[in-house]
Structure 1
Amino acid sequence: METGNRLNLVTAFIVILAGTGSDHQLSKWSAKACEQHTGMGKPRAKVAIVELIEHGFVAHSERSTKLYPQYRLPPIPLDSDPIFLPVAMITGIEAEASMLRRVRETGDPLLLRMLVDLYGLVQLDATFGVPITALSETPPTDYPSRKVFELGVHSVWAMRLGGSKTAKGAWASYHRTESRSNDKAWEDFWPRVAMLEKIGAIWYEAWIFDSDEPDAEPLFPVDFAALYHQGEGDDVTQLTRTMLDAAANLSEERSDLLGRYGLDMLVTLAQHRRAPGIRGVARMRIEADTPGRRLSYYKRRTQIEIYEAGYTQIALDALRGEYNRPMNTAAPQ
């Protein structure tokens, strides 16, 4: 498809789409909205919109006028799998520049494609993030999960995250440069991922999984900052501290266990469970309040409450010298 500026073309389309209602059909957002939300000047925005019309992506509605333009978008096919982009990604939040404006300011149209791709990958489980097979922060290769000790029905594992990341799948292949050798094919991919991190579009949340396999189930999030800082925190911080207290109470060397493993997350699980895994789940900073998101956060909240109660019980049992009651991780009925 011929276009004078591909980034402006796609940016203008996303802005017009953000101005539609629940049926995603009619929009009154035009060149002015492009200028307001993305910094694209009206002359460039008008050129981009003309190109959108020429290529059939939008059309003037029957009520559209030159002074008050209105656009109609093609109906969404029933068998399609649309990607949901939150309006706040286009309009921004509070006094911040919008993510769409920040991406456009880089001048890289494939960065916008990567951002949209990542939104399309978000899965509706408790992490509400990108699948760990597609993009995630990984543990150090020379430091896998290792068992610290066993006591009664409990095993305590030491785990840590590294600074490295991994990516796989068709979405990643699209952003690779196939014409280059294997060692250079990712030269454009990782700088784009880093740029999305720099502009605040994505971040990584540490999660404990039931294994290090690609299809591992997420158990609960943890906060590594809780290893170093006391004081108030959110529910994840509180869960992490309770989990660390449980490990310390189980240890015969309670006084220095946390000191000796200061860089590690000490995770207590039942002995029958396989070795757990840890990953940094890629999360989108701007999320929309959709039914899917609310369901995911209900799952997240439930799992945090289950493990919070379980670790509290383990810590109390250990103070009484009782080590034979396994944690109940079943969701309440």
Structure 2
Amino acid sequence: MRRNFRRAVITGGAGFLGSHLCEYLLEHGTEVVCVDNFATGDARNVASLLDHDGFQLVVGDACDPRHVRALPGPVDLVLHLASLASPAFYLRRPLETLWVGAVGTAHALELARAKGARFVLASTSEIYGDPLVHPQTESYWGNVNSVGPRSVYDESKRYAEALTMAYRRVYRLSTAIVRIFNTYGPRMRPDDGRMIPTFIRQSLSKEPLTVAGDGLQTRSVCYVSDTTRGIMALAHSDVAGPVNIGNPEERTVREIAEKVGQLTGQPVHLRHVERPVDDPRRRCPDISLATSLLGWRPHVGLEEGLRHTIDWFAREMGHEQGQRSRDEDRADRGPPPVRSPLWHG
């Protein structure tokens, strides 16, 4: 069954992936309500959409029921992407990361239940932790250190998956879980901290590329247009998931760094740094379910995707310096104080 959506709500819609989903839905005739508190999202990602008759931006927090559960009007799709997905951010804001995975997910599910909408949870390959099974299938339960520093993100997503399935069983809500593997493309933040934006920023700035450990750990990276298509294929279906969406072409981190240097035309100088705690040694999706149930597989190869991403970064970095300085100043001061999400005054 292919569902048609008239109006969708996307939490975290001004983020990297969320903004691409906003565009995709608008291009396919669906009205979009984008909810974002700009903790890591960027208003510029959706600036071109503000004049679109079918687009509405709500500056709000998924952990506040006034910004999600109380949204007026019909809704037939809820895409819950709100999260601090980069280690650079979730390690600085661990409580907010856990709360959005728990409280934010609950509010988004309640919105879907009230509106009778299809609900799609953006989960993650981090569910699998440092995997002992390779490639990772959806039936694998994972190898997660529940008390390690990365656990705030991993466990927030594991809880969100459990909550989503509970709503499906108790309320017979139409839900789906997508486990997203490493995704890259235009609109990633230069200070994101993840591998590809860091390599591109450093290469364009003629800096050494920082590689964790020996660089022989593997990742499977998927261009954002492919990930967007996969998420929407799941949304349009009746499949509950979880379903892996990612590119099964496995590469070493060192190989990706060298490819970025080659495409930017800069000499490649690697600076090896200590590997983070619980950093996965191998990461690669088994996409058999996505292929058989959704008819999806990625189309964009690594070199093509990197070229698009590098071109975007090269254009943007000319006027990113001021914003990056402000971001660094805020980072030096530490995260802002946070209230319990159960406080609604």
Superposition TM-score tier, normalisation by shorter sequence:
under 0.3
TM-score, structure 2 as length reference: 0.22
Larger Rg: 1
TM-score, structure 1 as length reference: 0.23
